[in-house]
Chain A
Amino acid sequence: MTRRRQALTAWLFLTPAVLFFALLFFLPIGNQLLTGLYDSDGVSFVGLGNFSRAFGDPEVLHSFLITLAYAAGTLVVGTAVGLGLAVILNQALPGRTLFRSVLLIPYLTSVSIVGLLWRNILDPQVGILNRLLEAIGLPGQTWLSTHPLATIVGITVWSGAGYTMVLFLAGLQGIPSLYYEAARIDGAGPWRRFFAITIPLLAPTTLFVSIIGLISTLQQFALPYIVTGGGPGNATSLYAHRLFIVAFNDNDFGYASALSVLLLLVVLVLSLAQLRIGDRANA
């Protein structure tokens, strides 16, 4: 097949996607971008004023930094837990289907329910957890006040670990068993096979998990919105939560648009870097 013909075929296959993304993503996002050049009243043109304002806004800087911390924590812990579970549950253990299902349940539960549930459980005064700790003679926790961000990371990992596990399971099952048998004949032990075959061949899955994880954590807004309202103080006011507040609480859509464009740029740069590293490692 000629290059030209393949190019035609490719673009033909892409036509629905091109139309969809153009009309339902780039058109509205472009519209927002234009809004970003205006003041909150939507009338006075401020050019890049909203962008420079963002760089001098301590609230925005704070939310950006805690979002990075939140993303790093969630990615590292979440990927480790998910991969560990997938490797364990990829074995022929009796009852593995049960464990797989149970571990995925939190992911099947709506994030608003997850948020409300944990808010209820963790409440130091009227929550069930402290009542149970008390009953077995342990001191009560006040994590939502003392370690709010780590608590949000914990809830995120709790609800997402099963999802990461399933992706890794699907990746693991896509590795031809032929490779393992060949390695075994060559005398490679289980640990060696894990590092020489499993990890490299899982690279596309790992890349996917980490990019999607990065993107979704940088956009996390539901959990702080539901569990802590961004508090105490502004300790859990993650970037997207801040953005939502600027748009829907402060009604400052120009500034919100500028903030969303900045978020887009940051995520884009980070994921392209990840993608490049991943593809290189993969090649």
Chain B
Amino acid sequence: MRERLFPGDRIAAYVVLVALGLVTVLPLLYMIVLALQSDAEVQSGDPVLWPADLQWGNFTRLFEAAPFERFFLNSFVMAGAITVSHLIFDPLVGYVFAKMDFPGKRIAFVAVLSTLMVPFFVRMLPIYSIFASLGWIDSYQGLIVPFLMDAYGIFLMRQFIKPLPDELIEAARVDGAGEFRIYLRVILPQCKPALAVLGLFTFVFQWNEFLWPLIATSRTEMRTLPIGLTLFNQEYFTQWNLTAAGALILFVPTALFFVITQKFLVEGIALSGLK
């Protein structure tokens, strides 16, 4: 059942959507065009709308030039492990801040929030020194540990858990459920949409992370995809076709992850007791 906001509102909605959709998608389609250009077309200085001859070989050139399958695996291990860790810890901490009362809560929350406000490269060098003496350079734990959880996810979960009715928790407590069980069986199931969002964003962010893998690895076999992509810039010009081809490869897993969570997001909402 639908009401009209004004006559033709549906058409207006589609006009807005199509316009913004085009603005969004055309630059990315152009990236595909770039990826399929020949070296000469990239150098020619004339923007090419459609390559004379589609260079599918650019993709295989990537894998010949560097062990991209290994970069892919490294990125996947790093982003995957961090995402799992976030899904375990962020909702738990967010729940504590949303629903529990305890001395020091306000200070603890502000302390957690304050960690959001420092650019990563500020804490990067001390962590790098520590990890170097631990022998954690060029290791997965070195790539993963600085990002096990973050204030962003905690804040996200707190904001989603806060509006949940307290009666749910009280009722479970009356039934004799332990605190952890309440969190696990009562709160978490309500959070599926938020968890999908958290998982997606964490994965995307870490998958594309550049600075830390650059610093924390110094062997080819431990590099991640975003670092691998920089191998194709020459000293005085960008080898656009290969960079764009790499960017497309970089994009595939995040897109897949999105397709999966998008479905889950809708299901999670349908199942949640909120409606």
Chains A and B directly touch (beta carbon < 8 Å) = yes
Interface residues of A (CB under 8 A from B): 1, 3, 6-7, 9-11, 13-14, 16-18, 20-21, 24-29, 31-32, 81, 84-85, 88-89, 91-93, 97, 99-113, 116-118, 120-121, 126-128, 131, 158, 161-163, 166-167, 170, 173-174, 176-178, 189-191, 201, 204-205, 207-208, 211-212, 215, 218-219, 221-222, 240, 243-244, 247-248, 253, 256-257, 260, 263-264, 267-268, 271-272, 275
Contact residue among B95, B149, B258 (Cβ-Cβ distance under 8 Å from A20): B149
Partner of B13, one of A16, A93, A204, A211: A93
Contacts of A110 in B (CB 8 A): 207-208, 210, 226, 247, 250
Quick check: is B89 within 8 A (CB to CB) of the other chain?
A: yes
> With an 8 A cutoff between CB atoms, is B141 at the interface?
no
Q: How many residues of B are counted as interface, with CB atoms below 8 angstroms from the partner's CB atoms?
A: 91
With A173-B269, A176-B275 known to touch, is A92 a contact of B89 (CB < 8 Å)? no
Nearest 9 A/B pairs, CB to CB: A28-B126, A110-B208, A7-B102, A267-B117, A28-B123, A128-B47, A10-B102, A108-B254, A113-B247
Cβ–Cβ contact A260 & B154, under 8 A: no
Interface presence of B175 (CB below 8 A): no
Complex: how many Å from CA A240 to CA B14?
A: 38
Residue of B nearest to A176 (CB): B274
* Known contacts A7-B103, A11-B102, A17-B93; A212/B122 CB under 8 A: no
Q: Is B152 an interface residue (CB 8 A)?
A: yes
Q: Name the contact of A109 in the complex, choosing from B95, B96, B201, B247 (C-beta under 8 A).
A: B247
- Cross-chain contact A260 with B30 (CB below 8 angstroms): no
Give every chain A residue within 8 A of B126 (Cβ-Cβ).
27-28, 31-32
Q: Give B105-137 as 1s and 0s: 1 = Cβ < 8 Å from A's Cβ atoms.
A: 100101111111111011101110010000000
**Cα–Cα, bound, A158→B156 (Å):** 22
**What residue of chain A has the Cβ atom nearest to residue B123's Cβ?**
A28
Contact string against A for B residues 158-175, beta-carbon threshold 8 Å, 1 for contact and 0 otherwise: 011011000000000100
Residue pair B173, A16 in contact (C-beta under 8 Å): no
Q: Is B100 an interface residue (CB 8 A)?
A: yes
* Nearest CB of A to B189, in Å: 14
CB-defined contacts of B21 to chain A, threshold 8 Å:
99, 102-103
| A20 adjacent to B148 (CB under 8 Å) | yes
A16 contacts which chain B residues (CB < 8 A)?
Answer: 89, 149
Which residues of A sit under 8 angstroms from B30, Cβ to Cβ? 117, 121, 128
Q: How far apart are the CA atoms of A18 and B89 in the complex, in Å? A: 11
- For window 1-45 of B, CB contacts with A under 8 Å fall at 2-3, 5, 10, 13-14, 16-17, 20-21, 23-25, 27-28, 30-31, 34, 45
Query: Do A104 and B258 touch across chains, with their CB atoms under 8 A apart?
Result: yes
B27 close to A121 (CB less than 8 A) = yes
Say yes or no: B194 contacts A170, CB within 8 Å.
yes
In the complex, whether B65 has a CB less than 8 A from a CB of chain A is no
CA distance A89 to B18 in the complex (A): 12
B203-215 to A contact mask, C-beta < 8 Å, 1/0:
0100110100000
Consensus secondary structure, chain B interface: helix
The reply to whether A108 and B255 form a contact with Cβ atoms under 8 Å apart is yes
Known: A24-B123, A116-B243, A158-B24. A91 touches B258 (CB 8 A): no
Q: Is the CB of B154 within 8 A of A17?
A: yes
Contact between A32 and B122 (Cβ–Cβ < 8 Å)?
yes
Which residues of B lie under 8 Å from residue A92 when comparing CB positions? Answer: 2
Residues of A within 8 A of B254 (CB): 108-109
Residues of A within 8 A of B72 (CB): none
Judging by beta carbons under 8 Å apart, are A127 and B47 in contact? Answer: yes
| Chain A residues whose CB sits within 8 angstroms of the CB of B113 once the complex forms | 268, 271, 275
Q: Is the CB of B117 within 8 A of A215?
A: yes
A174 contacts B45, C-beta separation under 8 Å = no
Whose C-beta in chain A lies nearest to the C-beta of B183?
A13
Give Cα distance in the complex from A3 to B103, angstroms: 9
Q: Does B81 contact A (CB under 8 A)?
A: no
Nearest residue (CB) in A for B263 is A97
In the complex, whether B71 has a CB less than 8 A from a CB of chain A is no
- Inter-chain CA distance A129–B56, complex, in Å, is 25
A191 & B145 in contact (Cβ 8 Å cutoff): no
Q: How far is the CA of A128 from the CA of B29 in the complex (A)?
A: 12
Is there contact, CB below 8 Å, between B20 and A14? no
* Contact of A240 with B28 at beta-carbon distance under 8 Å, contacts A24-B146, A100-B262, A126-B45 already known: no
Measured between C-beta atoms, what is the minimum distance from A227 to chain B in Å?
13
Interface: B259 (CB within 8 A): yes
Instruction: Report yes or no: A271 in contact with B193, Cβ–Cβ below 8 A.
Output: no
| Interfacial chain B residues near A158, Cβ < 8 Å | 23-24, 27
Tell me if B63 is interfacial: C-beta within 8 Å of chain A. Answer: no
* Residues in chain B near residue A162, CB distance under 8 A: 24
Q: Tell me whether B127 and A14 are in contact (CB under 8 A).
A: no
